[in-house]
A = this chain, B = another copy of it.
Amino acid sequence: MSLKLICLPVQPLLERVEAELAAQTLSDTSLISEAARYVLQNGGKRIRPALLLLMSKMLGASESAAVKLSAAVEMIHAASLMHDDVLDNASLRRGKPAANVKWGNQVSVLVGDFLWCKASLLAVSEKNEAIMGAMAGAAQATVEGEILEIVKSNDFGIGVEEYLKIITLKTARLFSCACEVAAIIAGVPDGVISLAKKFGLSLGVAFQLTDDVLDYDSSIERFGKRAGTDLCEGRITLPVINTLRACGDDEKKMIKEAILSSAAPEGRLKEIVSVMKKYNALSSALDLAKEYSLKAKEELMSFKPSLERDSLISIAQYSVTRDE
């Protein structure tokens, strides 16, 4: 099922999120509005706002609070993309040049900071310290995950557990935060908030695991990002971990060399992907993603049936299929 169809129950709210994002990125300094909007419009499936809105509607939370906080969560995400682009000199972000290519590192860092501050101010405006704490904590986890990823880049000794820790921090915690915040504004009991968090966390892990598989197994058209970026950046993701565990010494050597070389991996990518497929490294990584997706769905079973719950179940499915 397409994400658009899945999100139909909150479509009008998603439009209000867009209006909120436009309002939040207004500035006397036109460079700020321009760069911030470029990054925000340049993409994004708005999966985090969709999650927050669906969870909010399912639990009966205030719409206006949900819209504001959805914008805040998306701005944290956009800020981290902008800072990430500085880091890896990404030249392509969802098919368009990254902000740092268009405006330079200076602007990417500062406009990322600007979005971050605006998100904090939105969180503050809800006058609920649990929300502020959840959002600041998720932002911190995202950053810690990104730092850990850098520390562990080119480290072939990384195991599955450590890899899962990195993707939990850098991706799943913000997914989890979107669901948590929705539950908080709905005023549900702590046990329900905790369930919402768990659902978001499992979903986020499933989502990032699938991203990491698609990085080796997708065309630029389909996924909007150039395949092989992880390889290029020295990120040892599960497909690589799985392959290195199973393959022969010559194959190991070839893969390690490709990762350590700073050259574009295009030439080597096909060869590496075929080694990965030979050892079922991609399919077994996707199997793990499916396990997390299933876990996410199971966590939803404690909630009463509703149209929104159906959508959340479908998002859990979507996280591992990415149907257009």
Contacts and interface: CB of A to CB of B under 8 A. Distances in A.
A150 interface: yes
Contact of A86 (B80, B109, B144): B109
A230 to B, nearest CB: 15
A137 B122 CA distance: 11
A306 interface: no
A113 interface: yes
A83 B105 contact: no
A191 B114 CA distance: 29
A147 B29 contact: yes
A140 B118 contact: yes
A110 B129 contact: no
A106 interface: yes
A184 to B, nearest CB: 14
A129 B127 CA distance: 6
A169 to B, nearest CB: 10
**DSSP majority for the A interface?**
helix
B32 A144 contact: yes
A117 B136 CA distance: 6
A139 interface: yes
A218 interface: no
Contacts of A80: 113
Nearest to A121: B136
Interface in A165-189: none
Given A87-B105, A133-B124, A110 B150 contact: yes
A86 to B, nearest CB: 5
Interface in A115-163: 116-118, 120-121, 124, 127, 129, 132-133, 136-137, 139-140, 143-144, 146-148, 150-151
Number of copies of this protein chain within its complex:
2
Contacts of A106: 86-88, 150
A321 interface: no
B29 A113 contact: no
A31 interface: yes
A107 interface: yes
A274 interface: no
A151 B109 contact: no
Interface in A70-120: 80, 83, 86-88, 105-107, 109-111, 113-114, 116-118, 120
Contacts of A83: 109-110, 113
A129 to B, nearest CB: 5
A109 B87 contact: yes
A27 interface: yes
Contacts of A31: 147, 150-151
Given A32-B147, A120-B132, 4 more contacts: A86-B109, A113-B143, A114-B140, A120-B120
5 contacts: A31-B150, A106-B150, A110-B143, A110-B150, A114-B144
Question: Which 9 pairs between the two chains have the least Cβ-Cβ distance?
Answer: A117-B140, A120-B136, A87-B106, A113-B143, A124-B132, A121-B136, A124-B133, A110-B147, A117-B139
